[in-house]
Each structure stands twice: as structure tokens, then as C-alpha cells.
């Protein structure tokens, strides 16, 4: 018997679709604009330097995302190890191999963070908003895992 909601058995359920759409958007929009002959586009106008524009807020969001993603991996592996949950979507193939599971999810986190940093160079507001959305999605996954743990403990 599985301890997660039935809609998680199908790869969808809203949260996964939003995360995939955000990743595809970020990867497709992180390219540097170029002219058709391959020369770089015009340089953007310099902006006024403020504490918020120097990247401190973005670095905080990026750190929060990586922390939430790492917590998700740790809690997921703990729940799978206890036998109170099963991975239903992305990591289902690797859930019985903790090293491969953690390495794969960590590599995807690193790829997402790298692409988010690249996007931040050309579109800082979009990167900031996407980072907040990704952090919220990862935090929701951690909260769901905590809810499963609480239900299994009863």
C-alpha cells in the first residue's frame, strides 16, 4: 500500500508539471541574444547599483533553493528507507539505490542552479522570480514528505 496521494502515481499532479515547465522555460530563455551573423547583440545599459541589484537577494534565493532541494533528497531517502513512502515520479527507478538517487537529484539541482545563474546575467528579474518559484516547489515537496511522516507515525 502506498502512502502518497493517488494522483502522484501518474507523472503530473500539477506540481511536477509546473516544475518541468519552469525548467524548460529557463533553459530556453537563458541564451544570450545574438544577431543572425553570430555577433553578440548590443550591450545592455548599465544599471544603478543598489543592495538589491548586486545579487545578494538572488544569491539568497539560490541558496534557499539548493537547501530545499537537498532537504528533499534527505527526507525522501529517509522515508523510503523507513518503508513509509515510495518515489512515484522521477526517481522511481533509483529509489532502491540511494547513491544513484541522491547523485541524480543533486546533479539536476546543480544543473538548474547553474542555468538560473546564467539567466540571472541577462534577465535578473526573471531568474529571481523563477528561483522563488523553484524554491517554493521544493519546499512544498519537503512539507509533503513531512506530512507523510506524520501520517505514518500514527
In order along its 154 residues, the chain shows pLDDT tens digits of 344 444 444 444 554 555 555 555 555 554 445 555 566 666 665 654 444 455 789 999 999 999 999 998 888 888 888 877 777 776 677 777 888 888 888 999 999 999 999 999 999 999 999 999 999 999 998 898 888 778 877 5
Structure-block grid coordinates of residue 68 = 530545499
**How much is the pLDDT for 46?**
60
Say if residues 141 and 70 touch (Cβ distance below 8 Å).
no
Q: According to the model, what pLDDT value does residue 73 have? A: 87
Q: Where are the domains of the chain?
A: 55-154
Q: Is the pTM of this model over 0.75?
A: no
Please say whether the dihedral angle defined by the alpha carbons of residues 121, 124, 126 and 127, taken in this order, is positive or negative: positive
Give the CA dihedral 20, 116, 44, 32, nearest 10 degrees.
-60
- Burial category of 40 from C-beta neighbours within 10 Å (exposed 0-12, middle 13-18, buried 19 and up): exposed
Do residues 79 and 149 make contact, with C-beta atoms less than 8 angstroms apart? yes
pLDDT at 132: 95
Residues ≥6 apart with Cβ < 8 Å to 94: 87, 100, 101, 104
Q: What is the largest CA-CA distance in the chain?
A: 65
Q: In this predicted structure, what is the pLDDT of residue 49?
A: 45
Amino acid at each position: 500500500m502506498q502512502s502518497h496521494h493517488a494522483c502522484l502515481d501518474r507523472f503530473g499532479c500539477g506540481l511536477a508539471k509546473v516544475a518541468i515547465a519552469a525548467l524548460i522555460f529557463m533553459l530556453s530563455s537563458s541564451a544570450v541574444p545574438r544577431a543572425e551573423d553570430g555577433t553578440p547583440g548590443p550591450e545592455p545599459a548599465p544599471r544603478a547599483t543598489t543592495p538589491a541589484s548586486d545579487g545578494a537577494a538572488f544569491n539568497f534565493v539560490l541558496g534557499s533553493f539548493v537547501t530545499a532541494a537537498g532537504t528533499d533528497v534527505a527526507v525522501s531517502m529517509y522515508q523510503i528507507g523507513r518503508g513509509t513512502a515510495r518515489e512515484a515520479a522521477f526517481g522511481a527507478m533509483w529509489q532502491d539505490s540511494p547513491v544513484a538517487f541522491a547523485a541524480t537529484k543533486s546533479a539536476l539541482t546543480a544543473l538548474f542552479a547553474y542555468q538560473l545563474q546564467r539567466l540571472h546575467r541577462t534577465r535578473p528579474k526573471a531568474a529571481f522570480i523563477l528561483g522563488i518559484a523553484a524554491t517554493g516547489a521544493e519546499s512544498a515537496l519537503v512539507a509533503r514528505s513531512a506530512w507523510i511522516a506524520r501520517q505514518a507515525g500514527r
